[in-house]
C-alpha cells in the first residue's frame, strides 16, 4: 500500500510484456504500486505497438483473432498476477484486472460466462474481472462476485451507476454469507475522473467558471456514497487520472483525490511524476457541503450532469469497442 496511514493504494494503469518482465517488479518491490489494471485500449497499445509480442503472434497463427487476443491478454495477466500474488496473500491488494469483451456490455449472461471463463483460464486468485457499469453489467457484477470472483466495475460516471454497483455488491455479499463464505472476494468501483474536465473545461472557461474541478468533485461525491455504504469488500477506485497538456501538474488527479480507503489507478508516467515530486503527500479533506454547493452552482450555469454522464458513458464504451475492433482487425 502506498500510504498505509490512510489506506491509500496506487495501482498502475498499464500492462505490456517488457514492462511486466522488468520495471513492474521494481515498482512493486519499492512499494510504489501494489496492483495493476488493463483495458482494451491498453492492450491495443501493447499488442499493436510493442515488438515483445512478435514471437507469440507467430505461434498463434491459424487461430481466430479473438483467440489470439485472449491468448496474448491471458499471458500478460498471468505474468502480472504471479508478480503480485505475494501482495495479495499478505492482504495488500495485489490485483490485476482484465476486462470482458466490451461488445458484451448489454448481455448479462454472456458477460457472466466470459468472466467466469477468463478467471478460470488465468488461474490466479488475485484477478479482477472488469465489467462496464451498464444495466446488464450490474446483473453480471452481482453474479460474478456472488461466485467468489473479484470484480472491477468500470466506466463509472454518475451517482446512479455508483448506487447500482453498491446494490449489486451488497446482494452478492448476502449470497456469499448464506453460502458460508469466510473470505469475501474484493470489488472496486472505478470512477472516471479527467474525462469530465476534458469535455467541459472549454465551455466553463467561457463563463469564467473554475476549471479542472468537475471530475474531482464528481469523484468525491461517488466516493462518499461508497464510504457510507460500508461494504467491507468494496472500495472506490479513481480511474482516468492522467493529464493531457501542460495546464495541470502531471500528478494533479492523484494529489487532489488522496482520500482514505481509496485507490488511484494511473498511467505509468503519472505515477512517476507523483513519486518524483518534491511536494508533500497530504490527505484531502472531504466536505459534503462544498461538493453539493459546487454542483448547484454548476447546474445554475447550465451544465446538466445527467446529460454529461450519459455522453461520457457512451463515449467510453465506444472507445473500448473501437480499440477492441482494431486489435482483432490487426490480428486477423
Domain extents for the chain?
4-331
Q: Which residues of the chain have pLDDT under 70?
A: 278
Q: What is the pLDDT at residue 85?
A: 98
Catalytic one of 7, 59, 63, 130: 130
User: Which pTM value belongs to this model?
Assistant: 0.96
Q: What is the pLDDT at residue 156?
A: 98
User: CA–CA separation, 263 vs 9, rounded Å?
Assistant: 5
Q: What is the pLDDT at residue 280?
A: 77
Q: What is the pLDDT at residue 326?
A: 94
Q: What is the pLDDT at residue 221?
A: 97
Fold of 4-331: TIM Barrel (3.20.20)
Q: What is the pLDDT at residue 278?
A: 66
Burial class of 246 by CB neighbour count within 10 A (0 to 12, 13 to 18, 19+) = exposed
The verdict on whether 30 is a catalytic residue reads no
User: CA–CA separation, 208 vs 79, rounded Å?
Assistant: 48
Amino acid at each position: 500500500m502506498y500510504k498505509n496511514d490512510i489506506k491509500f493504494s496506487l495501482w498502475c494503469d498499464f500492462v505490456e510484456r517488457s514492462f511486466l518482465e522488468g520495471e513492474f517488479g521494481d515498482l512493486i518491490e519499492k512499494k510504489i504500486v501494489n496492483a495493476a489494471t488493463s483495458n482494451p485500449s491498453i492492450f491495443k497499445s501493447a499488442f499493436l505497438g510493442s515488438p515483445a509480442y512478435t514471437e507469440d503472434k507467430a505461434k498463434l497463427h491459424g487461430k481466430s483473432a479473438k483467440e489470439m487476443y485472449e491468448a496474448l491478454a491471458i499471458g500478460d495477466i498471468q505474468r502480472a498476477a504471479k508478480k503480485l500474488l505475494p501482495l495479495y496473500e499478505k492482504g495488500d491488494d495485489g490485483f490485476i484486472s482484465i476486462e470482458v469483451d466490451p461488445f458484451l456490455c448489454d448481455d448479462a449472461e454472456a458477460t457472466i460466462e466470459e468472466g467466469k471463463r477468463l478467471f478460470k483460464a488465468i488461474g490466479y486468485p488475485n484477478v479482477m474481472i472488469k465489467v462496464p457499469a451498464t444495466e446488464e453489467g450490474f446483473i453480471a457484477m452481482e453474479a460474478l462476485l456472488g461466485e467468489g470472483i473479484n470484480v472491477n466495475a468500470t466506466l463509472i460516471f454518475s451517482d446512479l451507476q455508483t448506487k447500482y454497483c453498491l446494490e449489486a455488491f451488497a446482494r452478492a455479499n448476502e449470497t456469499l454469507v448464506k453460502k458460508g463464505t469466510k473470505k469475501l472476494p474484493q470489488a472496486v468501483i472505478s470512477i472516471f475522473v479527467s474525462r469530465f474536465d476534458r469535455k467541459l473545461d472549454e465551455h466553463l472557461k467561457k463563463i469564467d467558471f473554475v476549471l479542472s474541478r468537475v471530475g474531482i468533485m464528481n469523484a468525491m461525491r461517488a466516493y462518499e456514497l461508497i464510504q457510507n455504504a460500508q461494504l467491507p469488500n468494496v472500495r472506490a477506485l479513481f480511474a482516468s487520472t492522467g493529464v493531457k497538456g501542460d495546464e495541470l501538474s502531471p500528478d494533479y488527479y492523484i494529489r487532489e483525490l488522496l482520500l482514505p480507503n481509496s485507490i488511484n489507478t494511473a498511467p505509468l508516467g503519472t505515477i512517476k511524476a507523483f513519486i518524483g515530486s518534491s511536494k508533500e503527500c497530504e490527505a484531502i479533506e472531504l466536505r459534503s457541503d462544498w461538493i453539493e454547493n459546487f454542483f448547484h452552482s454548476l447546474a445554475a450555469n447550465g451544465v446538466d450532469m445527467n446529460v454529461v454522464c450519459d455522453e461520457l458513458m457512451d463515449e467510453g464504451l465506444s472507445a473500448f469497442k473501437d480499440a477492441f475492433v482494431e486489435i482483432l482487425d490487426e490480428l486477423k
